[in-house]
Amino acid sequence: MKRIATLLIALAAGVSTSFAREEDPLLHNDMQSAHMTAEEREVWHVIERWNDAFARNAPEEYFSYVDPSIVVMTPASPYRVEGIHDDRQEFEFGIRIGTTRVSMFQEMLPLVRVFGDTALVTYFHRGYYGADGEGRSLNLKETTVLRRVDGEWKLIHIHVSQ
């Protein structure tokens, strides 16, 4: 009952919710994308599916959305991460030690802009991250840049801040 109430509140607030479970990634709250153009919605759905793969710790699916030349900046690293190899190494290390375990993940207030074959996406997200009993709640801001390659959107830059 409490979970249903939480979902209803989230839906009413225009929040896209993922509870690290297997479900259709396109079943997110459509209120968030109602004001977007068809092309902006297409980009936003890529971000939702990518975040779902993150929340499920599914590296193969997660990195299927990522361009090999990815550049990543996060609060957890004092340095810029360049290239899919280093990004994947960090992601899979986090899975092994449990720091990227996600109990709850929500995307909020997305803004999507498309400029030809380049897209800019900004949104807020909150989640509960970490190994059992050692997790913590985080509220973060994210900017992601994508480019269209052979008809598919690929992430080329991710910047996460607190």
Any idea what the CATH number is for the domain that residue 10 is in?
3.10.450.50
Query: What pLDDT was estimated at residue 23?
Result: 43
Domain that holds residue 151: 2-161
- Residue 6: pLDDT band with limits 50, 70, 90: very low
| Total number of domains in the chain | 1
Residue 30 has pLDDT above 80, yes or no: no
Whole-prediction pTM value?
0.78
Q: Where are the beta strands (DSSP E) in the chain?
A: 15-18, 66-73, 81-82, 102-115, 118-129, 136-149, 152-161
